[in-house]
Amino acid sequence: MPIHLSSASIPRRQFLKTAGAGILLFSRPSTTADSAAEEGDLVCLLNDTHIGEKQPEHSAVPAHLRQIVSDLTDRPDRPACVIINGDLALHEGRPGDYRHFARLIRPLQDAPIPVHLTLGNHDHRDTFFSILQEQQSEQPPVASRHISVVETRHARFFLLDSLHETLVTPGTLGPEQLRWLAAALDRFSSRPAVIVTHHNPRLGGDPKHFPGGLTDSRELWDILTPRRWVKAFIHGHIHHRSIAQHEGIHILNLPATSYVADPNESTTGWTAGQFTSQGVTLTTHTTDPRHPWNGQTTTLSWRT
């Protein structure tokens, strides 16, 4: 079932080639209004939706995503895009999971709001591509990986594929994807770069979560650190919320959409990011409007 990549609804899809590495680029429409150029790009960030084929329509997990989609389509300020960062499926990525997921996010397509998806350890890559067929590139930048670059006025988002193996908790990017990333970052160095990956890095954050994160975190940071236009790393996977920093790069752990391990510590929701050339303002929106996190805002400045 197509979601957002058909030529009819998104004519700005294009393929670029650079330094031996293909780049699938999604661009936000440009604006000629001077005032618009001073505004931030609203990017709506979700992760860990965990949609299952047999979840009752009234149960919390699909209800959370349905509520968030409704909130996004009703917003007066249209998002530049929505990014859903991995663990789209409930457990092991069955066909029915992705059919249910596609139905739930269809109103975003109809709005139309561009939606970009990454994969996590509860997803199954081949099954994902078999159901969400227009997500699969005819010329993938890296074979058997789901990656792309999303361009907005003030930032570029490099969406990576950290799925190592379905139901294996740690993730990995691998040498080929890291080489692609280095070339892609060098090709697109004129705007702040934001890395989006489902798994957390095993550095710069809460040590108790390190074992479940990226096995090649150090190799990744060796690429990111010297490229000063790389400003932030966004991840999910942990079903919690935190902000850290390592070697000047912000590490943003965003709330899960589906469920949390400890409701005394965390809650579910999504994050609105207003990205400018100088930084980002993050606003947490919780599925429980009474939760203390709801409406909390943090502004971060980019490293120089």
Report d(CA 16, CA 31) in Å as an integer: 22
What is residue 230's predicted lDDT score, i.e. its pLDDT? Answer: 98
What is the signed CA dihedral for 90, 96, 98, 99, rounded to 10 degrees? -140
140 burial (CB, 10 Å; 0-12 / 13-18 / 19+) is middle
On the question of pLDDT at 39 being above 90, the answer is no
Is residue 155 within a helix (H) or strand (E), and if so which, with residue range? none
Q: Which residues of 104-133 are buried (b: 16+ CB within 10 A; e: fewer)?
A: bbbbbbebebbbbbbbbbbbbbebbbebbe
On the question of pLDDT at 113 being above 60, the answer is yes
Is residue 141 within a helix (H) or strand (E), and if so which, with residue range? none
Report d(CA 168, CA 185) in Å as an integer: 28
Q: Is residue 28 very low, low, confident or very high in pLDDT (cuts 50, 70, 90)? A: low
Q: 104 versus 139: which is more confidently predicted?
A: 104
Report d(CA 151, CA 174) in Å as an integer: 24
* Domains parsed from the chain with CATH numbers: 13-29+37-301 (3.60.21.10)
Q: Which tokens sit at 238? A: 């942990």
Lowest mean pLDDT among 15-19, 50-54, 231-235: 15-19
What is residue 11's predicted lDDT score, i.e. its pLDDT? Answer: 29
Q: Is residue 4 very low, low, confident or very high in pLDDT (cuts 50, 70, 90)? A: very low
Q: Is residue 268 very low, low, confident or very high in pLDDT (cuts 50, 70, 90)? A: very high
The pLDDT mean for the chain works out to 88
Q: Is residue 116 very low, low, confident or very high in pLDDT (cuts 50, 70, 90)? A: very high
Is residue 15 within a helix (H) or strand (E), and if so which, with residue range? strand 13-18
Cα 119 to chain centroid, rounded: 9
Residues 183-196, mean pLDDT to the nearest whole number? 97
Digit-coded pLDDT (tens) for 238-254:
999 999 999 999 999 99
Strands (E), 19-80: 21-27, 41-46
pTM of the predicted model, to two decimals? 0.90
Number of separate helices (H) and strands (E) present in the chain: 6, 14
Long-range CB pairs of 238-242, under 8 A, 24+ apart, other chains included: 238/200, 238/206, 238/209, 238/212, 239/48, 239/266, 240/265, 240/266, 241/266, 241/284, 241/293, 242/205, 242/206
Digit-coded pLDDT (tens) for 147-175:
999 999 999 999 999 999 999 999 999 99
- 259 vs 61, 104, 121, 138, 150, CA distance in Å? 7, 17, 16, 34, 27
